[in-house]
Structure 1
């Protein structure tokens, strides 16, 4: 920003301070949840730090599991216990079904067509129904699992090539490549990217660029008067990445439409795009190709990066716990047999693998604060008043590390889930990495399959040596919770 802009911003912020002070005076008259004292103008922004999920967890130890903070102009309440999460996401789900929508999500009118941001109404219900009945139903996923098996074989072939050549594998890169291809196979019956291919970089860079920009803190969200200035360039970058991704999806949709019109008697593909185009031709849903493109953006943003980060954390923790790695490998060898590729139908017969994935989702939830909710009315929770338009953050990372809920919460112990009925399907609020209630992630059935088969494929029939031997387990906050330092390991064929 130039000098004139900086001066203008400071003047506006000074005026905003007086508005916020008057608003805070009104709020103090109500019985709000406790929290740290906000600084003038900026509120509690400086207390967020680089890893807000960790900072907020520490603050909750002082101020409790229902805590007030002020982020610029955004009044926020942070939830850090399963009991209050249940109140918010289940008992008062209708009140807290709103969304706080950042400037990056509003470009190309995405927020008005996105299932993640649409208000709970007729259009949102239609999209959810499409996902539930026509995209992520058991029948639909069973029909498309053959497509995913092909991509899984490519992952195994890539790891085998690295074994032969003695090359180190970047687990996160391998996971994001496979994750994107599993998604594209399920949706389009095609590969988006290939291992080590320069031509596939555009897809990967576009999707990861959009993920990064959506997860970046934006001053224009905290201080709405800055929106027109876009001081960090976040809106400008979001417009670029959204436009590019929507254009890519438009090409795919147009190619499929052309194929359907020129070869109407050809066998239909067994993927989700075919199901969506069939719905477009009907009258029940009033679903257009434009709606399809924005839905595809939602699915790829929500599904690819989070799945890949979960897989990388799983391999990290297993490599740091050789005895647990051995137990998982023994189970795979016993149930599946050596030199055989895992199938999705095998997952139900692998209780220790399931326990490993549950423990990873407890210890390293992909979305540590979920997508922010917003209260649509004043409501009393746990004896405190939550005003209308309050942003709600559910700190599932803090819940997963709470010693009053979990024994040895800072240790990776899959065994805790072997004799436990706790699951991550949204009913057990000790473990809600995919959220709960009407805003719960609709792609959970596909993500569940992808995570299990990717982790199993990377540890079955391969041993791994760490490069370097010391593994950095620091976290990097974003739209998904990544490792700060990528995991690299040398595969060894058994």
Structure 2
């Protein structure tokens, strides 16, 4: 019977040495730093996927675009014009209004005899997220008139359902990501599902965007009230719109 201790695997020896020896720890730190410096763009980038390409309309957005000129452009736009601390503080009242609205809606549901004094938390949370985003981007809580109790109307439900349908397929396994020539067959059905969901989402968003652009062009609006106004008023050096629709 072998009484000698089993040899530690090589990779475990290296990790053990790195933990025990400051010299080895520094060596590993420098190695990892060099890898990140040389291949940082690879780690920063997003994968090229059919679902992401369709959702971002050909990689025009920041969150889904692989690293490149378009990604760098949108990163500058979002960092300076949308995701800055000043804009976050500026939109505080809109988020507070929606939080107050949620409290009132939950209270009414608890007092509603038809709901058995119960609240669908999943439904309330989903539409609260949608309402907050619509409030900050479009300046309004509902695309339509909403419900009498303050709940989401048909328009808002279709809009939120479309967004969640897109998320359910985004970066999901698709054979076309490995064999692009199979994209036309849409074997997993993701392409059709995402395309239909995008149509439902844009059916409500696009009219609001076009209406707002016309208001600025005709001089009917002069003050920025939400994120959409900020994006519309981003200009190039020649006073031309930086973004297009």
TM-score over 0.5 for the alignment?
yes
1:288 matched to 2:234? The reply is no
Where does 1:191-210 land on structure 2 (aligned, <5 Å)?
Answer: 191-192=141-142, 194=146, 195-210=151-166
Q: Deviations over 1:438-463 (max 9, x none)?
A: xxxxxxxxxxxxxxxxxxxxxxxxxx
Where does 1:58-97 land on structure 2 (aligned, <5 Å)?
Answer: 91=37, 92-97=39-44
Distance change in 2, residues 1:129/1:176 (3 Å): same
Distance change in 2, residues 1:123/1:168 (3 Å): same
1:185 matched to 2:132? The reply is no
Is the contact between residue 279 and residue 287 of structure 1 (CA under 8 Å) also seen in structure 2?
A: yes
1:103 matched to 2:58? The reply is no
Q: Secondary structure at the match of 1:169?
A: coil
If asked which structure has higher relative contact order (CA below 8 Å, sep 6+), I would say 1
Where does 1:122-161 land on structure 2 (aligned, <5 Å)?
Answer: 122-161=69-108
Cα distance in 1, alignment partners of residues 51 and 139 from structure 2: 30
Instruction: Provide the residue aligned with 1:275 in structure 2.
Output: 230
Is the contact between residue 181 and residue 192 of structure 1 (CA under 8 Å) also seen in structure 2?
A: yes
Cα distance in 2, alignment partners of residues 117 and 88 from structure 1: 26
Cα deviation for residue 130 of structure 1 reads: 1.1
Structure 2: which 5+ runs fail to align? 1-10, 12-28
Distance change in 2, residues 1:95/1:106 (3 Å): closer
Is the contact between residue 82 and residue 230 of structure 2 (CA under 8 Å) also seen in structure 1?
A: yes
Q: Secondary structure at the match of 1:96?
A: helix
Cα deviation for residue 113 of structure 1 reads: 0.9
Distance change in 2, residues 1:246/1:90 (3 Å): farther
Q: Secondary structure at the match of 2:184?
A: coil
1:174 matched to 2:124? The reply is yes
Cα distance in 1, alignment partners of residues 160 and 55 from structure 2: 21
- Equivalent pairs counted in the alignment come to 207
Is the contact between residue 180 and residue 192 of structure 1 (CA under 8 Å) also seen in structure 2?
A: no
Where does 1:95-494 land on structure 2 (aligned, <5 Å)?
Answer: 95-107=42-54, 110-165=57-112, 166-192=116-142, 194=146, 195-264=151-220, 266-280=221-235, 283=238, 287-290=242-245
Cα distance in 1, alignment partners of residues 236 and 130 from structure 2: 28
Cα deviation for residue 154 of structure 1 reads: 0.8
Cα deviation for residue 135 of structure 1 reads: 0.6
Compare the two structures and name the one with the higher helix fraction. 2
TM-score normalised according to structure 1 size: 0.38
Cα distance in 1, alignment partners of residues 94 and 35 from structure 2: 35
Is the contact between residue 89 and residue 96 of structure 1 (CA under 8 Å) also seen in structure 2?
A: no
Cα distance in 1, alignment partners of residues 33 and 192 from structure 2: 38
Cα distance in 1, alignment partners of residues 154 and 201 from structure 2: 18
Compare the two structures and name the one with the higher strand fraction. 1
Is the contact between residue 166 and residue 194 of structure 2 (CA under 8 Å) also seen in structure 1?
A: yes
Cα deviation for residue 281 of structure 1 reads: 6.7
Distance change in 2, residues 1:87/1:116 (3 Å): farther
Structure 1: which 5+ runs fail to align? 1-33, 35-82, 291-494
